[in-house]
Amino acid sequence: MTALTVLALATPAAPALAQQRAATADRVRLDTKRIDRALEAMVADGRAVGVSALVWKDGREVHFAARGHADREGGRPFTRDTLVQIWSMTKPVTGVALMQLWEQGKFRLDDPLSRYLPEFATMLVQDGTDAAGKPVWRPARRPILIRDVLRHTAGFAYGDGPTPVHKAFAAADPLNPDNTLAEFGRRLARVPLLSEPGTEWHYSAAVDVQALLVERLSGMKFTDYVQTHIFDPLKMREAGWHQPMERLPRLAATYVKQDGKLARQADEATRRGNFPGTTLTMGGAGIVAPIDDYMRFARMLLNGGELDGARILKPATIRLMATDQLDPAIKEREWLMGKIEGGFGFDFAVRTARPTGPERNRGAVGEFFWDGAATTLFWVDPTNDMAVVFFVQTMPFDGTLHTDIRKAVYGADYLGPQGD
């Protein structure tokens, strides 16, 4: 399988996004030495081989730091121009692409998905088992809406797992690297749903469906659309799925925890799908980027959809994406609530309450973020006029690194202003 394993000075749009800045007493006081110490500890205690962090605040860069190695065995340090696999941090990029088409009136959020992708017209859900213990399937009670695809409530699976639906997903192999996006869609549409659309939150292949929608609605190849309408306007000069071979020496190795220690993943596994590339270009993963490129994307979001004169989305659209879209009746949320006190918008987790305990991730109400399988992370904090990008290549996902980088940025006791 391909790699599932990707702010200028504030304009008047930025205060609109933030709605209300925190009182001075509630705003974060950055301690750059504290950030440096946290990065050093991550490497020293063996949770990471190399790390970097970039902080943008109040209209300017306030700190960059890197520690450790991008290639421990080769002695190559983790630097500002190191390229990393951002994995699921690709998802917000895909969401922005799709919402550009929404702004153009190409679809409505509550349109059935099948209006544009007819292969998803008849989806099945399990209705118990028969006398032999085999699953019984019936048509879903309502169609998948595009809104469901944006907020992970469509009911799609995302790989193998314990249920018959997961087994059907694995058998269909929609994310096979030799598939086109169109073939991905045809295969996924044959897989039953984990739940009725709109009733549960299941992290899923929905963002790859978003990429297919971008192709169908724009008439452009997905990668070409993103390059033309996001990467080029934002001057993200190196971000992309399929990298030229001359950049290979700058790619960070991926390190996998084995018996309590980090072992280097085989280079072929790290590079697969990116150097020079495979057929499938996922919406949910696959971008390789340096930290400055992804910060430009984060700054655009912080700045209400614009950066250096390039308007990517309207401020109202950013607010919509960064607002919790989960109905309180949606109780099944898998591991989402382990990340944040809040919910999920369109391709972002959204904080709606202050941290509830000392072990919880620090942050301010109104922030939105996402992360990646190799433990990369970014967040946008309008209350503090701040965006942070954290790069590392540690697998499996290690949430303690996120807890520590947030404590380093905010301070261990930071709660932010009281939410609504």
For position 267, what pLDDT does the model report? 82
For position 270, what pLDDT does the model report? 73
For all residues of the chain together, what is the average pLDDT?
A: 92
For position 269, what pLDDT does the model report? 72
Phi, psi of 9 (to 5 degrees): -55, 140
Q: What is the mean pLDDT of residues 181-188?
A: 98
Q: What is the mean pLDDT of residues 53-81?
A: 98
DSSP string, 84-139: EE-GGGGHHHHHHHHHHHHHTTS--TTSBGGGT-GGGSS-EEEEEE-TTS-EEEEE
Res 118 pLDDT > 50: yes
In the numeric block, which tokens belong to residue 78? 């983790």
> What confidence tier does 6 reach under pLDDT thresholds 50, 70, 90?
very low
For position 275, what pLDDT does the model report? 62
Q: Where are the alpha helices (DSSP H) in 219-328?
A: 222-226, 267-271, 291-302, 315-321
SS3 66: strand
> Which of residues 75 and 5 earns the better pLDDT score?
75
The separation between CA 224 and the C-alpha centre of its own chain, rounded to angstroms, equals 20
What's the first-to-final CA gap in the chain, in angstroms? 43
Percent of the chain at pLDDT > 90 equals: 87
Q: What is the mean pLDDT of residues 97-123?
A: 98
Q: What is the mean pLDDT of residues 23-51?
A: 91
| pLDDT digits 0-9 by tens, 333-389 | 999 999 999 999 999 999 999 999 999 999 999 999 999 999 999 999 999 999 999
Range of weakest confidence among 28-32, 40-44, 202-206, 366-370: 28-32
Write out the E strands in 266-372. 288-289, 306-307, 310-311, 342-344, 349-351, 368-371
Q: What is the pTM of this model?
A: 0.93
Percent of the chain at pLDDT > 70 equals: 92
For position 257, what pLDDT does the model report? 96
Q: Is the dihedral of CA 138, 142, 145, 150 positive or negative?
A: negative
Res 3 pLDDT > 50: no
**Amino acid letter at 83?**
L
Cα–Cα distance for residue pair 225/26, rounded to 1 Å:
41
| pLDDT digits 0-9 by tens, 9-34 | 333 344 334 444 545 547 888 999 99
Which residues is 344 bridged to in the sheet?
A: 349
- Structural domains present in the chain: 13-92+222-410 (3.40.710.10), 100-218 (3.40.710.10)
For position 10, what pLDDT does the model report? 34
